[in-house]
Amino acid sequence: MIKIRDLNKSYKMGINYLHVLKGINLDVEEGEFVAIMGASGSGKSTLLNIIGMLDTHDSGLYELDGVKIEKLNEKKAANYRNKFLGFIFQSYNLISFKNVVENVALPLYYQNVSRKNRSKIAMQYLERVGLTNWAAHMPNELSGGQKQRVAIARALAAKPKLLLADEPTGALDSKTSAEVIKLIQEINDEGKTILMVTHEDEIARMCKRIVRLKDGMIMSDERIEQVRL
């Protein structure tokens, strides 16, 4: 599903370049559940953003689902994102002036699904994350854990092949984190491929494979016995 070879990324900082990803090699097969770990500033988000086509690499190869991802124009990249990818962020990124079911339905709008079907499908995913009764509420009426479950429902509604999560439990207490990760595990059990950035060991152990980054390089990459909740 993902093939990355000798991938490099630098950011221009004034007259200097900050070399953030230094020759990354990574393969991810369908159905995997991968934790990307590393200290703050090690390049985790940069890598996830390149995989998610929110950012571009400078050199090397990146193939997603057999398609070489190169300097795509924004429209093409947006198309691929809508078709292939679901995102979950630490800060939830819900639309504050839309209610819960409208938030979940949003990616379907970009897939040209009819209004009636959008609501119907969005309700199915709200049920999946246990928030049926919250459909008409606004995001600011929800707890952090509930907001993240809405974000997960929204990510799933578009039926992505790949789910990308950047510190999805970073703003949650440990009990709520566990509930959110349990939900993500179940989604992986159903066959969804998941890449999750985290700097917490306890969270990473609930994945099936841990990739460790240090200063923009992969230090280790190992399959693990998944901790179940």
Residue nearest to Mg ion (CB): 45
Residue 45 touching Mg ion (CB under 5 A): yes
Quick one: which segment of 38-46, 56-64, 138-146, 182-190 binds ligand ADP (CB under 6 A)? 38-46
Residue 44 touching ligand ADP (CB under 6 A): yes
Query: Which residue has 């016995």 as its token pair?
Result: 225
Identify the burial level of 194 via C-beta atoms within 10 angstroms of its C-beta, where 0-12 means exposed, 13-18 middle and 19 or more buried: buried
Residue 41 touching ligand ADP (CB under 6 A): yes
Q: Which of 38, 107, 139, 168 binds ligand ADP (CB under 6 A)?
A: 38
- Judge contact between 155 and 129, C-beta under 8 A: no
- If binding means CB under 5 A, how many residues of this protein chain bind Mg ion? 2
Which CB sits closer to Mg ion, 129 or 211? 211
Site for ligand ADP in 81-140 (CB under 6 A): none
Residues 6+ apart with CB under 8 A from 194: 32, 33, 34, 162, 163, 164, 165, 184, 187, 188, 207
Residue 43 touching ligand ADP (CB under 6 A): yes
Least CB distance from residue 97 to ligand ADP, whole Å? 27
Q: Which of 6, 11, 67, 130 binds ligand ADP (CB under 6 A)?
A: 11
Residues 6+ apart with CB under 8 A from 69: 53, 62, 63, 80
Least CB distance from residue 135 to ligand ADP, whole Å? 33
Residue 90 touching Mg ion (CB under 5 A): no
Residue 45 touching ligand ADP (CB under 6 A): yes
Nearest to residue 32, comparing CAs of 3, 55, 9, 56? Answer: 3
